[in-house]
Structure 1
Amino acid sequence: MAIHGSDPVTDADSCLSCHGTEVKITGTETRDTEMGEMVFPTLSHWPNAGVGRVNPDGSKGACSACHTRHQFSIEMARKPYTCAQCHKGPDVPAYKVYEVSVHGNIQKAMDTYWDYQAVPWTVGKDFTAPTCATCHASEVVDEEGEVLATRSHRMNDRLPWRIFGLPYAHPHPIAADTTPIVNAAGLNLPTELDGTPVSVFLIDAEEMAVRQARMEAVCLGCHSQQWVDGHFQRLDRSIETTNHMTLQATKILSQAWEEGLAAGIPQGANPFDEAIELKWVEQWLFYGNSIRFATAMGGADYGVFANGRWTQNKNLQEMLDYLTLLRAVNKRE
């Protein structure tokens, strides 16, 4: 059976649906309208509402990723269902985790009493539990009017760690354009395969502390300092343990490559197309991400059995068992 790679149409209907396509004018066509014949441009990679879309005039971004067309509603952008369009998992299970968190429960139960359109957004008055926008984007004040967080459309302004998408959690990249990032092995990754950060491309400890303080200020609008400290200690530990589990999976995969039982980076081959390689990807893309999101957003149950710690441990053992099987088959041949 032939395994087909991606193509521009399927890319636009999958990954690039959220990340954004490059929309280009490829020609023109004449159409009849109520005002007579008119000439319209024909567009490639359209329609698309991906947040990183490159538009025909060279501008970047799509407001409609969060403020969907026809209304440009701040209320819609503040509700978690809008974020769920792209952040539902299993690779980015933010909404799944939010659903089982206390914050998500409060939102579903009580948000008919909330004012989603108030600017600024007042904790305890306009809403009583955070949504995605509260933590990442909205201007938030306390009931005395003191600013807890200023408005931002750069979603990592309050995030020191990048916890999803790549093998290891790591400090956020300095620049939004991550294409120049390359590690010592020549791979376009912000870490080495052993998890060591490629620090020259990443924010430093000082900037991480600034972003951490911004996020903590939002949390402190409702919670005590002791609660906030404990929460982020758990997140630090989740980052440490999930990175460790990814490293163990990487060691197993590297052994398979070294012994010629799979063809990957050392052979100059695709590192994502064999069974043991796909299990390696699942280790960080699904399970590591899920654990970190569950800790970061208070969805503890999701971080255990629903693509969490149980699954991650099981997957690691299966990788080791598969390596043993490959060795046995290779020895027999």
Structure 2
Amino acid sequence: MPYGRHRVLVTGGAGFLGSHLIDRLIERGDEVLCVDNLFTGDKSNIDHLTGHPRFEFMRHDVSFPLYVEVDAIYNLACPASPIHYQRDPVQTTKTSVVGAINMLGLAKRLKVPIFQASTSEVYGDPAVHPQTEAYWGNVNPIGIRSCYDEGKRCAETLFFDYHRQHHLKIKVARIFNTYGPRMHAADGRVVSNFIVQALKGEDITIYGDGSQTRSFCYVDDLLRGFLALMDTADEVTGPINIGNPNEFTIRQLAEAVVRKVGGRSKLVQQPLPQDDPTQRQPDISHARDVLGWNPEVELDEGLDRTIAYFREKLERS
């Protein structure tokens, strides 16, 4: 999508990623319609935009049709952490699948480009490492994570079928573990969990022995990838992995957080949840080639920024 002022719809805009994306769009001169049902989104993430002449908030659930006029759509609506998406798995699937149908229908009617925030969870517990976009995944279709994993996989199917059948301009990004300010403190994801536990002086909960790996991408880097993908030529559809390829064990992450926060938090092991992936690392060759994109914020710096955010948040509460 070429530069210039546009009216942009961001679904899930009151969430962690959505609110940061809206900030970037506002900064570059766009008008933004933020849509969120606040199931996991938090209005405090967008309070700083209240009264801004180029920002509008609408409380709406994307599993119901939406009739608005916009120039582009970023579809980020969906609970993204296991604690949240397993709370109402049927609604999670509806948000991914019915929500995608509704947003694709809107994009088709308006003839505008649409971006889908997909996920590395489409790869499941991968048998290929690192994961390339050509890998079809190893996903349990009936497990407790399936509402999210299969919902996102089906959403990708819908996006590409709308592209083939209706010539819709689509952009699909597969997000790998992302962290940074505005993460939900109780979303169950490892970075926020470890930081909050350490700041409170509590023991750090590790599931399994901590040898499972993840690759952590700082939110600023991820959003540069989003905007770069949306601004590519129409024939560039994705899916494109957006993540930091530096791989760490969960134990290494926990030890780094304890070291940075200080205190005497101990690492305590709990049973590994069902279908928890043992490895997660993106191959970002495609993003480098097509988008000229590379992550810039290393884990050490990103953790410092995120710890500072949560420290201030806990002090205010």
**TM-score scaled by length of structure 1:** 0.27
Q: Which structure's CA Rg is the greater one?
A: 1
Higher strand share: 2
Greater relative CO, 1 or 2 (CA 8 Å, sep 6+):
2
**TM-score scaled by length of structure 2:** 0.28
